[in-house]
Structure 1
């Protein structure tokens, strides 16, 4: 492995941190047709785990069905290297990585922010989770704390010594208000993963703005929030709004809720950020709501299963 920092003479060069098979020469030859330029680097706040690969093409290229995956682990460091890839080479690397991985932004120890292939299931590999959201995330209308309490209990039970779950939900608040407060609250908890579960209140309190404008405002604020969190090494997971029974909640238009869901989903896909879509869990099931907006205990149980595999 060479040690010089990758050159960036071409504006479109992408930097990718790798700790696994992308560092292997025969894998690079197979994917890119040549050995790529690399520089030693590290990833702070992570540890590794084994991922079993079943894709025969990936196994053939790498020579093994056991690849390394990342888990969040406060105080640990993963050694690897930074690869300098062209857009075409980055696309080849994307195609090589199986569905168990997702390309996301990470801060490296020596060279700043880079891409990295991390677990596609962010909640499962998190250590310290912060939930920011509205009354549904808070668990209003349920005596047991709702879906978040169920996910928290399972998450902490996996490793009571290290795992934490902080419910910072704020009933009645808009996403814009929540994101403003979270920029101070989340770092104070040393969270590595941030669940964002809000948006309905922004539609309820649109003050004359249409759903399109509300969505644009949220995306602009989410972009800046994610940039701050990612530079701190935190991974943001944006959750979809839930279905709403508009026969009971008359000041909401279901089309605008669906439009917000699609706006968030599309933005996450285009910017390589995590989108957790729970819409189908409660859609067109009014019996799972206590008032048309807040889920019942059974509705929360189903949401917990979708979010944390509880």
Structure 2
């Protein structure tokens, strides 16, 4: 599969992840793999949340992602951590919502068949993207030990970084009428000699990319040349994207093309209830053992 296509669909999956979207889960006769530590009632609640969110047309979400690594070869810090605190708001117009639900309801084989008709596929994606209005904000906090290690390594290699690396960076994005906007003001503040006065937004229209993929001049970019297996995988990924915009992480991963590989390393726990906007909420903690996952065959 071409890198351009892979990157494009990875971006779509990332977009769905920002809005925390689960895809449709078929009824399962055997226990749900990520519910080992949950009571039947909690497992049902998690899946009910997934079902309720699958038809959401507008909403808001917040999430915290913590990545922690230990015993990394050739890295002095004993433990490295990166935390991402994200918030998102989104709304779809009626056309985008109808197209999203239509794609989400398609069997994987039908979605795979759409790759034989690139213009129709890209037109469907364009309908969703042009009808989606979204705003996200993410604050990335990096352990000071990691920042010091990066700076020291660069200096040892004779290419020192000419400014102090921050331990916290905020990134804001917007999606409106098919254009993605990124606010670079927070990044400008850390560069020597620069200081942002107000917001610095850069917008990129992604619809021309869809038009390019619909009629590629390079065979490597032609989605109709994908193998049947690649079409099935991208079809499943597209289902996750189109069904997504709010909901638990575990059901989304379980509905992805990589469910079988991820499930053994995925653990979900019920925590104490929280309060959001004055209303009690159920809280679940999802843990993925990335080290074991990456070392698995």
- TM-score between the two structures when normalised by the length of structure 1: 0.19
Q: Which has the higher contact order (CA 8 A, sep 6+)?
A: 2
Pick the structure with more helix per residue.
2
- TM-score between the two structures when normalised by the length of structure 2: 0.20
